[in-house]
Chains A and B, each alone.
Chain A
Amino acid sequence: MKTAIADANLDRNPAGRTSGEPVLVLREVDKSFGAQHVLDGINLTVTRGETLAILGRSGTGKSVLLKIIIGLECMDSGSICIQGVEIAGIALNEMNRLRVKMGFLFQNAALYDSLTVEQNVAFPLERHTKMTASERSARVMELLSSVGMENDLKKMPSDISGGMQKRVGLARALALKPEILLLDEPTAGLDPITSGEIDDLVLKLQKDHALTSIVVTHDLQSAKTIADSVALLDKGKVVMEGSFQELAESHNDLVREFFKRDS
């Protein structure tokens, strides 16, 4: 598996993976919680096969943005088009049709604690496919093998480490072969070695499944490894967007401070 991950790193060619066709288009997205203005006129475009990393300090609205995209929160104003479908005011069944095309990895994995690892990954398959039990088992095994968790099928989420939970969460997010992957702090709370493994895994999966991804993180190393483009959020606004290199060389004070502090 290590070799496969290394190969994925070597073969990575962001320019070749993206097609230029916009998959996710956010225009003037606003969101407030009471008096607190969390998102203030966010404009972002993610093209097919692209991985966009959203950086920013804690509390700048990064996770809220992901939750708005998947419909767990409502935006106050603005527009979000996912594969050409506007989600503002969309009916629940229409939103669910879009959700099936999206995978979401939560910050703390959010595994169902009453279900085993195997049942967690099988959950979306049971709901949205007509697979037989044996087909489902085979698919679950394939997914768990791809994240290196094939030997922990019967374990409960409370019996595995944080890094392992993230892996299972990733397998669950990929269960329905999504076209869009939303990752909320995939390396948060993990040690540097496990963080590196998760980054390599995400990279490999993006390559294998030709996914369009948005990764929310404040881990610069992670953003550098897995993202084609990076957007820096501060006080609910996009301060700068570009390649990692462009941001690293920026003269913008806020961007420089963010990069300097991390280095």
Chain B
Amino acid sequence: MGAIMEATSNSSGTMINRSLEWFGDLGSFSWKVICAAFTKPFELREIIRQLDEIGSKSFPLVALAGTAIGTVLALESRSSLAHFGAKSMLPSAIIYAIVHEMGPIVTGLVVAGRVGAGIGAELGSMKVTEQIDAIEASAVNPYKLLVFTRVLACIVVLPLLTLVTDFCGVFAGWVAVTLSDPISFHRFLEKGLSGVSFSDFLAPTFRTCAFGLIIGVVACFQGMRTKGGTEGVGRSATNSVVLASLFVILADVILVKLILIFWP
């Protein structure tokens, strides 16, 4: 019994040490990226390439995810609201749920999966084949060329992709509603947006910039510290997705609370 307790205590001690080491390394990594961000050249061409890679290529996936959540929300909410005699609230419920929570978090998680795995595997593969060393040996800062460009692209692209998810979700919600109770899209929007102001859209949409920062930094960090050949690359890709998704969910909880405090 004593041996089991000692083993458990040792293993939790190691885990805490590893976690602290991970956060320490992440801090040092982030500092290098910040320093790289303010030095010339600004790698505009690479930033544009990453905007396309991360933004345009995630478009179909987030559109599909938005359509799915809009449809499901409409189908699920209709019977519940009908039960309480509040069926007329359906457009508001769909739009409010999508814009405030479902759109941002679903976009964050979808991008964490697609982009996190991509960045983790790409940088991990470059690391184990010494391509990152080759960049450094060419007197080029890899934190600038590889990391800053990807992180910036993630930050810029996430709010735009969230708008895509929101639009597809609302549109799919309208289609699902109108199939059972025909209503024009204009009327659906009018009813849904009646109690919502423009500022209600801003904070939820722009909180995805924080999701972009988390996804970019975590995925690049995992990729840049890859060790151990192809197995290490696979591990980096998996860890990037898992950690980025986890931190996106945690950040969502914190940011929602902050938004409710500052924009009640």
Q: A108 within 8 Å of B by Cβ?
A: yes
Residue B131, interface by CB 8 Å: yes
Task: List residues of chain A with CB within 8 A of the CB of B125.
Answer: 113
- Chain B residues contacting A108 (CB-CB under 8 Å) are 129-130
Contact B138 A124 (CB under 8 A): yes
The stretch from A37-45, A96-104, A223-231 touching chain B is: A96-104
A3 to chain B, nearest CB (A): 32
Q: Mark B120-154, 1 if CB is under 8 A from A, else 0.
A: 00000110011101111111110000000000000
Return the CB mask of A177-189 against B: 1 if under 8 Å, else 0: 0000000000000
CB pair B139–A106 under 8 Å, yes or no, is no
User: Smallest CB–CB gap between B37 and chain A, Å?
Assistant: 14
Q: A127 near B129 (CB under 8 angstroms)?
A: no
Q: Mask for B87-127, Cβ within 8 A of A = 1, else 0? A: 00000000000000000000000000000000000000110
Residues of B within 8 A of A106 (CB): 130, 133-134, 137
Identify which of A67, A96, A123, A124 contacts B133 (C-beta below 8 A): A67
Interface flags, B146-174, vs A, CB<8A=1, else 0: 00000000000000000000000000000
Q: Tally chain B residues at the interface, Cβ within 8 Å.
A: 15
Contact B140 A127 (CB under 8 A): yes
Contact of A112 among B41, B134, B139 (CB under 8 A): B134
Q: A110-B129, A113-B129 are in contact. Are A99 and B139 (CB under 8 A)?
A: yes
Which residue numbers of B lie inside 8 Å of A, CB to CB?
41, 125-126, 129-131, 133-141
5 residue pairs A–B, Cβ–Cβ below 8 Å: A71-B136, A72-B136, A99-B139, A124-B138, A124-B140
Complexed CA–CA distance, A113 and B130 (Å): 11
Q: How far is the CA of A124 from the CA of B126 in the complex (A)?
A: 17
- Chain A stretch 52-76: residues in CB contact (< 8 A) with chain B: 67, 70-72
The interface residues of chain B lying within 8 Å CB-to-CB of A127 are 41, 138-140
Task: Tell yes or no: A2 within 8 A of B by CB.
Answer: no
Instruction: Identify the closest chain B residue to A103 (Cβ).
Output: B137
Name A102's closest neighbour in chain B (CB-CB).
B137
Whether the pair B134, A104 counts as a contact (CB closer than 8 A) is: yes
A110 x B136 contact (CB < 8 A): no
A115 CB, nearest partner CB in chain B, Å: 10
Residues of B near A72 (CB, < 8 A) are: 133, 136-137
Q: A113-B129, A123-B138 are in contact. List 10 more A-B contacts (CB 8 A).
A: A96-B139, A102-B137, A104-B137, A110-B129, A111-B134, A112-B131, A112-B134, A113-B126, A123-B140, A172-B138
A128 within 8 A of B: yes
B60: shortest Cβ distance to chain A, in Å?
22
Asked whether A99 lies within 8 Å of B137 as measured between CB atoms, the reply is yes
* Docked complex Cα distance between A108 and B137 (Å): 14
Query: Judging by beta carbons under 8 Å apart, are A113 and B131 in contact?
Result: yes
A60 to B252, CA, bound (A): 50
- CB pair A99–B131 under 8 Å, yes or no, is no
User: Which of B41, B134, B141 makes the CB contact (< 8 A) with A110?
Assistant: B134
B131's partner among A104, A107, A110 (CB-CB below 8 A) is A110
Cα-based distance from A172 to B137 in the complex (angstroms): 11
Give chain A residues whose Cβ lies under 8 Å from the Cβ of B134.
Answer: 104, 106, 110-112
In the assembled complex, the Cα of A70 lies from the Cα of B130 at a distance in Å of 14
Please, what's the 1-or-0 string for A187-227, where 1 marks a CB less than 8 Å from any CB in chain B? 00000000000000000000000000000000000000000
Residue of A nearest to B125 (CB): A113
A99 B138 Cβ-Cβ under 8 A: yes
